């Protein structure tokens, strides 16, 4: 199809433990939340098809990295959405709403590049979901909390509502946050993910077992690796990637900006 324009394990574990235990941040978030000890720990999510990585090692997106939007069935848009990064679809063939939406990147529809990106998305999803080293239990609503680098696991759905979520890297710009969410992920109207003390969108990974839904005017940071579909209501802004393995990505007057490495 054509292209359309539009590290030793023991050392890693020890370093990870020290970073998690340390409180080296140089500022105090406005809304303090519980630290990792408040959530306890949990057992493995199950065996991954790929080698198990340390809990907070970077998740390599490989050929999916240049994409801001990647879907399995369909990509739809309503209104003047702006996408900075590539948009891809495989195995589906329908991408609608561009224009009036604008893509500052390339469009790949069911071609070799889109197919490879989907394979690498699946690999990254399995990697993120397969991390098992001392996960921190979370559930319900993360709104109003401050979380630090680490692996966070929800055995059901997870939401950001009734407050914003702050991710504090404690001064480490390479710090990684991984969220394993067994079912759906929801952000309610006007809620925000806030990055502080060196946290970067490119190092935040949300692995979602079903679908992700955003209310109007949300502000979101991170890489969404979603099994089913992603839906964004009017005015939601995302600095990150919306990557859906088998379902659709639906946009309405949104801004999606792919972060750099």
Residue 37 scores a pLDDT above 80? no
pLDDT bucket at 56, cuts 50 / 70 / 90 = confident
Q: Is the pLDDT of residue 82 over 90?
A: yes
Q: What would the mean pLDDT of 145-157 be, rounded to a whole number?
A: 97
* Segment 145-168 mean pLDDT: 97
Residue 40 has pLDDT above 50, yes or no: no
Q: Over 90: is that where the pLDDT of 39 sits?
A: no
Instruction: Kindly report the average pLDDT of the chain as a whole number.
Output: 84
Average pLDDT for residues 169-178, to the nearest whole number? 96
Average pLDDT of span 207-231: 98
pLDDT at 118: 98
Dump the DSSP string for the chain.
-PPEE--THHHHHHHHHHHHH----SS--SS----GGGT---------SSPPPPTTS----GGGTTEEEEESSEEEEESS-EEESEEEESS--EEE-TTTSEEESEEEESSHHHHHHHHHHHHHHHHHHH--SSPEE--EE-TT-EE-SEEEEESS-EEE-SS-EEEE-TT-TT--EEEEESS-EEE-TT-BEEEETT--GGGEEEEESS-EEE-TT-EEEEEEEESS-EEE-TT-EEEEEEEESSS-EEEES-EEEPPP-
pLDDT above 90 coverage of the chain, percent: 77
Mean pLDDT for the stretch of residues 168-197: 97
Of the given ranges (11-25, 92-106, 181-195), which has the lowest mean pLDDT? 11-25
Task: Let me know: does 153 contact 138? Beta carbons within 8 Å.
Answer: yes
pLDDT of 71 > 70? The answer is yes
Residue 13 has pLDDT above 80, yes or no: no
Rounded percentage of the chain residues whose pLDDT exceeds 70: 79
Whether 30 has a pLDDT exceeding 90, the answer reads no
Give this prediction's pTM.
0.80
Mean pLDDT, residues 195-217: 98
At residue 115, φ and ψ (nearest 5 deg) are -65, -40
Residue 11 clears pLDDT 70, i.e. is over it: no
pLDDT at 55: 62
Task: Answer whether residue 14 shows pLDDT above 70.
Answer: no
Confidence of residue 28 (pLDDT cuts 50, 70, 90): very low
């Amino acid at each position: 199809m054509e292209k359309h324009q539009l590290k030793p394990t023991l050392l890693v574990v020890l370093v990870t433990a020290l970073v998690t235990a340390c409180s080296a941040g140089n500022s105090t978030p406005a809304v303090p939340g519980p630290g990792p000890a408040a959530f306890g720990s949990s057992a493995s999510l199950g065996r991954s098809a790929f080698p198990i990585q340390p809990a907070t090692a970077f998740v390599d997106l490989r050929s999916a990295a240049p994409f801001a939007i990647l879907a399995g069935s369909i990509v739809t848009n309503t209104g003047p959405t702006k996408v900075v990064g590539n948009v891809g679809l495989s195995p589906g063939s329908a991408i609608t709403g561009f224009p009036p939406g604008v893509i500052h990147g390339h469009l790949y529809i069911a071609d070799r590049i889109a197919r490879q990106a989907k394979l690498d998305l699946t690999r990254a999803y399995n990697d993120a979901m397969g991390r098992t080293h001392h996960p921190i239990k979370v559930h319900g609503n993360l709104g109003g909390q401050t979380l630090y680098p680490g692996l966070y696991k929800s055995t059901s759905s997870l939401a950001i509502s009734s407050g914003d979520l702050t991710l504090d890297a404690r001064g480490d710009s390479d710090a990684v946050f991984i969220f394993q969410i067994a079912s759906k992920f929801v952000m309610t109207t006007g809620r925000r993910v806030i990055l502080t003390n060196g946290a970067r969108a490119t190092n935040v990974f949300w692995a979602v077992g079903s679908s992700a839904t955003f209310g109007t005017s949300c502000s979101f940071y991170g890489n969404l690796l979603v099994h089913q579909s992603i839906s964004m209501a009017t005015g939601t802004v995302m600095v990150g990637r919306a990557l859906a393995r088998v379902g659709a990505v639906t946009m309405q007057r949104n801004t999606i900006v792919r972060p750099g490495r």
